Amino acid sequence: MIISRRDALVVGAVGLLPLLANIIGAGQTWAAQEIDTKGILHDPDAPESGNPKGNLTIVSFFDYNCPFCKRAEPDLEKVVKEDGKIRLVYKDWPILTEASVYGAQIALGAKYQGKYLIAHNALMSVPGSKNDKATMTKAVQAAGVDMERLEADIHANADAISGLLHRTHAQAESMGLMGTPVYLIGQFKVAAALDAAKFREVVAQARQRQAGR
């Protein structure tokens, strides 16, 4: 079940239990649908962090101009690091502005110099929801990305980057996603900007589901 953006704004006020009821009470998980589950979970070009051998996978669909994504990102990263057994897959899904596409391109381009996470974190740290290309470029450069190499890598790997973005968009559409952020936490689909406590709760529920409890 997809939670609306309005619901995402009031999650903190209503508490976690109604949220979990919306997610888990729907009775159908995202992986039960006729979608490319393998492509979503194991696209070789999609950046990852966390524990590659973790017992739970979180897939994050986000846009670098999404304020909800930016609000939740530090808590998501905190939970992944503290837990130690979560594999996090990044799905750059630039749907809000033209500059969002540029942000995704430079983040994915930075992967070729081993700095995807540096670029990702820099872009997620830029405040606001209407950042332009110049602002994004400045943020990534300040974070320590080699901009000359970045330009060359984006040019040399244009087809691979474009292909990954197209696959991600097709995956999102196959699940009927309506906006960002969306987190696939184990079998559960959550379209809400969670805080650390709520991420931990859904992680626990997902592990219980995997264990058949």
Supply the pTM of this predicted model: 0.85
DSSP letters along 39-56, please? HHHH-TTS-EEE-TT-SE
Q: Is residue 70 part of a domain?
A: yes
Q: Is residue 43 part of a domain?
A: no
DSSP letters along 180-213, please? S-EEEETTEEE-S---HHHHHHHHHHHHHHHTT-
* Residue-level pLDDT at 211: 86
CB 105 within 8 A of CB 76: no
Average pLDDT over residues 54-76: 97
Q: Is residue 35 part of a domain?
A: no
Cα–Cα distances in Å, from 76 out to 35, 61, 71? 25, 12, 10
For residue range 175-198, list pLDDT tens digits in order: 999 999 999 999 899 999 999 999
Q: Is residue 44 part of a domain?
A: no
Residue 35 has pLDDT above 90, yes or no: no
Residue 105 has pLDDT above 90, yes or no: yes
Phi-psi region of 174 (alpha: psi -120 to 50; beta: other; left: phi over 0): alpha
Average pLDDT over residues 145-150: 98
Question: Length of the chain in residues, anyone?
Answer: 213
Q: Is residue 118 part of a domain?
A: yes
Structure-block tokens of residue 87: 């594999």
Domain containing residue 18: CATH number:
3.40.30.10
Outline where DSSP puts E strands in 93-187. 182-185
The rounded distance, in Å, linking the Cα atoms of 106 and 148 is 12
The rounded distance, in Å, linking the Cα atoms of 111 and 143 is 14
Domain count, the chain: 1
* Residue-level pLDDT at 13: 27
